[in-house]
Copies of this chain bind each other. A is one copy, B any other.
């Protein structure tokens, strides 16, 4: 089901895969990669890239590399800092995680290239995000797999603020006219009150009782924010667990499918 208004983009419509920060890092231990989980995701991506000719963008979250430092400096998607040490520490930690992800993908035969949002994005005084897709789009067209991440970015009047991996995903989905979006989470999908995976979500109202009040707008946080953002996309999205990366990349729709009416 191709997107409508985005079809004019010259880039072949890519798939966007987000690897959650809590999937690929050990959230309880500062700056620690979850090697087994990362290797498993990398293997699934390498297998899929052998088989398909379609283009892929990877985005990863911060996990124990990003969130700890962001909290330490009081920086979030809405709260900023002019402290150079905040920029250096948060961005440095995210680059370190990105380097591990890019290196592992490269070693597995995936032509992964790092793309750092601090170099390509900013927010205006209203918090509105500008994220240049120039590099990502150019790299995709040449057969590379751009690997982006949550980061700090310039925020007008506030210094720098956090750009979440989820925001990178939804912004690029629109600007690149992505055909499919997949979010690999620690849970196998969006869960209902009985911890069962909800198969399809088509509007936010029908799941508010499960996901919590609609004022939870923190896109870096809970599932409610993710679902709301994904419902706003023209692109259908899936939220699934670490077992389902291969299925998603092979064209399946594992976990919870989120598509607006």
Contact = CB atoms under 8 A, between A and B. Distances in A.
A88 interface: yes
Count copies of this chain in the complex: 2
B106 A135 contact: no
Contacts of A123: 138
Nearest to A84: B111
- Please tell me the size bucket of the interface on A: 35 or more
A87 B144 contact: yes
Contacts of A141: 154, 156
Contact of A142 (B113, B115, B131, B159): B159
Which DSSP category, helix, strand, loop or mixed, fits chain A's interface?
Answer: mixed
Interface in A79-113: 82, 84, 87-88, 91, 106, 111-113
A75 to B, nearest CB: 13
B114 A139 contact: no
B113 A116 contact: no
